[in-house]
Amino acid sequence: MLPALHDAKLMWLFGGVLCLLIFSTFVGDILKERHRGDSGRATIDNLNARIRAWWKMCAIFALSLLIGRIGSLVLFAIISFLALREYMTLVPTRRGDHRTLFWSFFVIMPLQYYLVGIQWYGFFAIMIPVLAFIFIPSSIAIYGDTEHFLERAAKIQFGLMVCAYCLSHAPALLLLKIPGFEGQDARLLLYLVIVDQMNDVLQYVWGKLIGKHKIAWRVSPNKTWEGFVGGTLSATALGTALWWVTPFTPPQSAGMAFTICILGFAGGLVMSAIKRDIGIKDFGVVIEGHGGILDRIDSLCFAAPIFFHLVRYYFVP
């Protein structure tokens, strides 16, 4: 029953995450107690809402990892579905895209996860970049509405790439056969998610504490150089310190963590630019304090495929 429970290193990771959650809940409470007056009130309330949401997200993710491959696969498929839904809701589409959208939600995206499930790497890797890329404009063209044709086809393709294709590389880590690491791949997925999400959190924290010089202020007014550098360095340090849960040596782990941080930052920035373009602040209101699902996973979408391929290239013979 639940072999993951006997993975001592995994349990240590869970324990670490739990401690972090308890610690941040304490900090949130203390900030709330100490703070009188209105300035910064909203920030602290938002922080506490985020911490509450983190408890729930960690619980769900931990449960899915314990269930095993199927658990992670189903969880990420659901996340993909919800993210794609937020994206498509806000990106303008036309009546003529209806059937293409139906196929995207109910055939292309589930098929992508099915291919991960049956471990058919060759098909999984080309499914959306090649097959969907041809299918989407063709099916829109058959309907016959040529208004903004290229734009509509590109928008649907982009949504599928980010929400389905890129994200599916996270659970796909579980199908990599790394010599000497059999049966421990849950930790690799957890490593990616921890480094990526902690990078988000640490960039936010460093930015709030000492942030002054804005990066790309047109795109995201909250991102600063201090937050970026502080977050990247501290999350890379964290990733390096977690080398013992991975098949990497400490220097390799540092390189991987650094790559995840840079890509996570890029993912967040790109999604912010899209939101700016559409004219909204968040993609949805599903997770309290965090905006939508897509706001939470934007960094993971860019980090997951590159991390997957780095591991596959260097560690799978």
Partner 1 sequence: MSDGVHPIASLLAAVARGITGVQVQWAGCEPIERQRIYFANHTSHLDFVVLWSALPSEIRAHTRPIAAKDYWEETPLRRYLAENVFKALLVERGAMAKAKSPEEAKFVGRMLIEDMAAALGMRNSLILFPEGTRGSGEKVGEFRAGLYHLALRRPDVELVPAYLENMNRILPKGEFFPVPMLSLLTFGKPMQVEPGEEKEAFLERAREAVSSLRRIGPA
Give me the residues that bind partner 1 (CB under 8 A), please.
81, 85-86, 88-89, 92-95, 98-99, 101-102, 105-106, 284-285
Nearer to partner 1, 159 or 230 (CB): 159
> Cβ 284 to partner 1, closest distance in Å?
7
> Cβ 86 to partner 1, closest distance in Å?
7
User: Which three-class secondary structure string do you get for 10-54?
Assistant: HHHHHHHHHHHHHHHHHHHHHHHHHCCCCCCHHHHHHHHHHHHHH
> Cβ 124 to partner 1, closest distance in Å?
24
> Cβ 102 to partner 1, closest distance in Å?
5
Residue 233's contacts (CB-CB under 8 Å, 6 or more residues apart) are none
Nearer to partner 1, 37 or 279 (CB): 279
Nearer to partner 1, 123 or 143 (CB): 143
User: Letter for the amino acid at 10?
Assistant: L
DSSP state of 131: I
Residue 178 phi, psi dihedral angles, 5° rounding = -95, 125
User: Is the CB of residue 3 less than 8 Å from the CB of residue 68?
Assistant: yes
Nearer to partner 1, 82 or 215 (CB): 82
> Cβ 304 to partner 1, closest distance in Å?
23
Give me the residue label for tokens 């004219």.
279
3-state SS assignment for residue 287: strand
User: Is the CB of residue 139 less than 8 Å from the CB of residue 115?
Assistant: no
Nearer to partner 1, 76 or 308 (CB): 76
